Structure 1
Amino acid sequence: MPITINGQSVAVPTDPRVSLLDLLREHLHLSGTKKGCNQGACGACTVLADGERILSCLALAVQFEGRSVLSIEGITDDGALHPLQQAFIEHDGYQCGYCTPGQICSAIGMASEIERGVPSAVTADLASDSIDLTHEELRERMSGNLCRCGAHNGIVDAISETYASRTGASRPAVAEIAE
């Protein structure tokens, strides 16, 4: 059974030691997903697997047989920028851009977690059906994605604008943007 990557069927590598990151970058030439630390500490390799954010450097490609993987190259259908990509531009959420694909994929996965009511370490009310994306909540959830250039404030502003608190009437719902 193949892996679906960005909507395309891809054969599972014959070598079971190939990481998902290496499959994307070296075998499929999808260079958007970055190899940062190659130890799961920086988040540059973050992709979405069946909608969940994962560190592709720590995952073997064979684990994703029959599953769907979405990298930065696959976050839009029509070739237009994803709303979060546009917000990164507007808020200077990048400098060198190396961490940007992982930041964006992680933020999309984070928004899905909030929509499903998955609590974080700083979620105040664990029994609540809804979680507000406060500044503290956002920073906690994105703490696994590092930016060595210091663009964190722009990154936080871009994510905040795109995935504002579910109670924010002027903001789009997470489900509308994460699709």
Structure 2
Amino acid sequence: MILMEHIVREGHPVLRTRAEELIFPLSEVDRELSEDLMGYVINSQDAELSEKFGLRPGIGLAAPQLGKSKRIFALHITDVDQEATSFIAINPKIASHSIEKTYLSSGEGCLSVDRDVEGYVPRYARITIKAFDLQGNEFKKRLKGIAAIAFQHELDHLNGIMFFDHIDKEVPFKDIPGATPFERD
């Protein structure tokens, strides 16, 4: 079981490195890593487990956050329409995106960042993604709202980018042209 002590924090070089693509069939190590990533996000959202093990709640976790430079992440969230979005993405890509932007009005956070970083993080409002599942089958999904924001946040981790890199350093709450703020429940 992944605990907070296993998650690397900002300043660790792996968080600034472009992660390596995986080759199929997956090794047992990569399969276990994928399942561990999903296990953490599910467990961290369970109030009892979160308190018992001191887990910070998260909706996504990428392999680089565990010190592994591999293109894998897991998402487990409930979006605006109360539909569960839960999947492991291997070698993920954004196939297309909207012109319209969005951002979390409360700002983004990250399990690898132990401080509050204020400011708007511009993201595409809607995206179509492609990725592979554990068996090597390619899948395609259309995401919007918090699911689209979370996917982009985790994809950034695979590219060595931190969420605060997108925040305007001079004016953190600067208006983002063409963007609609997303209010998270």
| TM-score range normalised by the length of the shorter chain | under 0.3
- Relative to its length, the structure with more helix (as a share) is 1
After TM superposition, the score normalised by the length of structure 1 is: 0.26
Identify, as 1 or 2, the structure richer in strand: 2
Q: Which has the higher contact order (CA 8 A, sep 6+)?
A: 2
